[in-house]
Amino acid sequence: MKTLTGKDLAAAIRAQTQAEAAAGAPPRLAVVVATADEASLWYVRSIAKAAAGVGIACDVVDLGPDAAPDQIAETLARLSAAPDVHGVMLQTPLPPGASAQQLAAAIDPRKDVDGANPLSLGRLAAGLPAFPPATAAAVMALLDHYEVPLEGRRAVVVGRSTVVGKPLAHLLLDRHATVTVAHSRTRDLASVTARAEVLVAAAGRAGLIGRDHVAPGAVVIDVGTNPTDDGGLTGDVDAAAVADVAAALTPVPGGVGPVTTALLLRHTARAANLP
Ligand code: NAP
């Protein structure tokens, strides 16, 4: 089984983004945070560090874990209206009672570099220009980087969230794959996923995809990032179990994750250069 790492691709995207960022006005990304969740704060710090590395300014606007939904929405609207801010992102999780989807509607779609505004998903579904969520875009970038054919292929996406599964299904459809979306109510998941030539696991359930879930020769992309007891991360795919049946698998960590961050920055550089 081939391991489809994301590190080289992420480095190539960052290099290209650095060149794009240097070509115009310096791009600026604003990340709105309203959580004390350590994993989430770590991710935001990693975005800020990666941004600095490619010449993109990154403002972390930390409203604290007790922020009211109105305050978050007002902040997103203010940043969307600021001429020197080109990308606006709302980090999750959010305080109880705050809905990411409702709040993300306050992000200007032209600055919605993580595809969180429902309008962005709608535009994506309609085949109109929009920034897809960086994770969904990262899956497509990995498939393209490793030259995985999609046209006419059976693709199965496990997960139907608005940040990963649904946008990804539209992106795969645009590339003429025959797409099936599975979720927690899908009966006999293995019988559905075992038909996939391209299988994307995005359920957030460690080890959900085992040997019986994978067709011989399938390309498997593991989006899942599940915390392990020792402080590490593991994917949704049982890598050891599928090793002698899948043709290829992305590792966790080191697969989709680094490409996601690189694409978030690329989207920001592109947002800064929109006419
Ligand atoms: P989410 O909002 O919790 O959605 C999970 C989806 O998986 C839901 O559609 C759910 O079905 C489905 N699901 C859950 N258990 C299932 C099961 N046993 N069988 C089949 N489907 C099942 O999660 P998310 O935000 O989409 O994230 C998914 C995973 O990707 C998480 O591990 C997350 O940490 C990871 N992630 C990684 C990156 C990255 O950059 N690498 C970025 C974002 C997310 P229902 O709709 O029926 O509930």
What gap in Å lies between CA 38 and CA 265, rounded to an integer? 22
| Ligand 1 atom at minimum distance from 224 CA | 32
Ligand 1 proximity of 186 Cβ (cutoff 6 Å): yes
The answer to the question of residue 264 being in a domain is no
174 & 253 share domain:
yes
163 & 77 share domain:
no
User: How much is the pLDDT for 24?
Assistant: 85
Task: Read off the pLDDT band of 48 (50, 70, 90).
Answer: very high
The answer to the question of residue 123 being in a domain is no
Contact call for residues 27 and 271 (beta carbons, < 8 A): yes
The answer to the question of residue 125 being in a domain is no
144 & 252 share domain:
yes
What gap in Å lies between CA 83 and CA 166, rounded to an integer? 31
180 & 243 share domain:
yes
The answer to the question of residue 263 being in a domain is no
Q: What percent of the chain has pLDDT over 90?
A: 98
Q: Pick from 144, 156, 168: which is nearest to 218 by CA?
A: 156
The number of domains in the chain is 2
Identify the CATH number of the domain in which residue 203 sits.
3.40.50.720
The residue range of the domain holding 167 is 134-257
User: How much is the pLDDT for 112?
Assistant: 98
- Give the closest residue (by CA) to ligand 1 atom 40: 257
25 & 83 share domain:
yes
Mean pLDDT of 92-96: 97
Identify the CATH number of the domain in which residue 69 sits.
3.40.50.10860
User: How much is the pLDDT for 275?
Assistant: 86
145 & 253 share domain:
yes
74 & 165 share domain:
no
The answer to the question of residue 79 being in a domain is yes
74 & 110 share domain:
yes
Instruction: Render pLDDT for 151-189 as a digit per residue (tens, 0 to 9).
Output: 999 999 999 999 999 999 999 999 999 999 999 999 999
| Ligand 1 atom at minimum distance from 261 CA | 40
146 & 237 share domain:
yes
The answer to the question of residue 60 being in a domain is yes
The answer to the question of residue 199 being in a domain is yes
How would you class 154 by CB atoms within 10 Å of its CB: exposed for 0-12, middle for 13-18, buried for 19 or more? Answer: middle
What gap in Å lies between CA 143 and CA 198, rounded to an integer? 9
247 & 142 share domain:
yes
Give the type of residue at 58: C
pLDDT greater than 90 at residue 25: no
Tell which one of 37, 43, 161 to mutate to probe ligand 1, the residue whose CB is within 8 A of the most ligand atoms.
Answer: 161
Provide the whole-model pTM.
0.98
Contact call for residues 151 and 176 (beta carbons, < 8 A): yes
User: How much is the pLDDT for 107?
Assistant: 98
pLDDT greater than 90 at residue 75: yes
- Give the closest residue (by CA) to ligand 1 atom 18: 184
52 & 160 share domain:
no
Instruction: Render pLDDT for 3-24 as a digit per residue (tens, 0 to 9).
Output: 999 999 999 999 999 999 999 8
User: How much is the pLDDT for 189?
Assistant: 98
Mean pLDDT of 35-57: 96
Q: Where are the alpha helices (DSSP H) in the chain?
A: 7-23, 38-53, 69-81, 100-104, 118-125, 134-145, 165-174, 189-193, 239-242, 256-272
Beta bridge partners of 149: none
| Ligand 1 atom at minimum distance from 186 CA | 20
Tell which one of 47, 184, 208 to mutate to probe ligand 1, the residue whose CB is within 8 A of the most ligand atoms.
Answer: 184
- Give the closest residue (by CA) to ligand 1 atom 32: 204
- Give the closest residue (by CA) to ligand 1 atom 19: 184
pLDDT greater than 90 at residue 111: yes
The answer to the question of residue 126 being in a domain is no
- Main-chain phi, psi angles of 177, to 5 degrees: -80, 160
110 & 142 share domain:
no
